Amino acid sequence: MKINNLIGISGSINSGKDLVGEMLCYISQADNPTFKGFDTEVVLECPYEIKKCADKLKEVLAIIIGCTRADLEDEEFKNKELGEEWWRYEIEDIIDGLVTIDKVEYDTLPKDWQEGFKTVKLTPRMMLQLLGTQGGRMVVHPNIWVNSLFADWKQVGSPLIVRAKGLEPQYPKWIITDVRFPENEGVAVTQRNGLLIGIKRHFALKQPKYAELVDENNPYNIPPGLEHLNPKLYASLTHESELSMGDHSWCDVVIDNNGTIEELFNQVLKAVK
């Protein structure tokens, strides 16, 4: 089945982005794709490369903290606290604003001064968010990760031969499973005639442990009560890289992933058709 050369998938944590990417790989190869076929067949050679806007960010972080690239695809690893050497200590100062110090400096403070500091125990996920947004997008360049990703989006074959033969330029087949920022990552996909798929999922399905906090009238919203029960998770879910996606109205099609895997598959199939 012929589908777009470039597809971007956007969704918050635990919304099903990677699963949709796998479904698209299968759909692109099948003459008559069905959920039964996806459920039983092994996809041996997907014509698409699965890409992430955060690919090179993760490669950088893997070097910094001494883990593997595969580690940073593991949800349990990403949420695990790093060693004490990565802890930092923060305090709001009237004159200087937020002051951050490391453990060595913190240990030299008098005990009564230490009580005013908040201990932040970094996780790989927090490092990705901080390095990617505050360290990269806000300091180096707003499009740092988009530019680094599409630096590899090169025309297949010789442009001279393509022009001489009057052929249409061909580009790689990519499925990008972590499009988060509409104003640059989304635009980058659209400018290359790609398809943008947004995925929405009820908070209770993404975070079943905290389902009782959900307001039934706003099932997609992050419940305010989470901030007190799990401040670290709340901070992660309300980071700019999560909130920037909004309601996905900027996507070409929006899928509600609140049912079975088969229902999700049928929505994905309908979207690409």
Per-residue pLDDT at 14? 94
Beta bridge partners, 267, equal none
Q: Hey, what domains does the chain have and what are their CATH numbers?
A: 6-54+156-272 (3.40.50.300)
Per the CB < 8 A criterion, the answer to whether 200 and 264 are in contact is no
Task: Report residue 115 as tokens.
Answer: 């009580």
For 166: left if phi > 0, alpha if psi spans -120 to 50, otherwise beta; the answer is left
Mean pLDDT across the chain: 90
Largest alpha-carbon pair distance within the chain?
A: 77
Per-residue pLDDT at 115? 87
Per-residue pLDDT at 42? 54
Per-residue pLDDT at 4? 80
Read off the pLDDT of residues 189-237 as tens digits, 9 standing for 90 and up.
Answer: 999 999 999 999 999 999 999 999 999 999 999 999 999 999 989 988 9
- Please identify every stretch of the chain with a pLDDT value under 70, giving residue numbers as ranges: 1-2, 40-44, 157-162, 164-167
Q: What are phi and psi of 231, to 5 degrees?
A: -60, -35
Query: What one-character-per-residue DSSP string does 186-255 give?
Result: IHHHHHTT-EEEEEE--HHHH-GGGGGG--TT-TTSPPTTHHHH-HHHHHHHTSHHHHTTTT-TTSSEEE
Strand order in the sheet with 87-93: 97-101, 87-93, 118-121
pTM for this predicted structure? 0.82
**Cα separation of 238 and 222, whole Å?**
8
**Cα separation of 26 and 47, whole Å?**
9
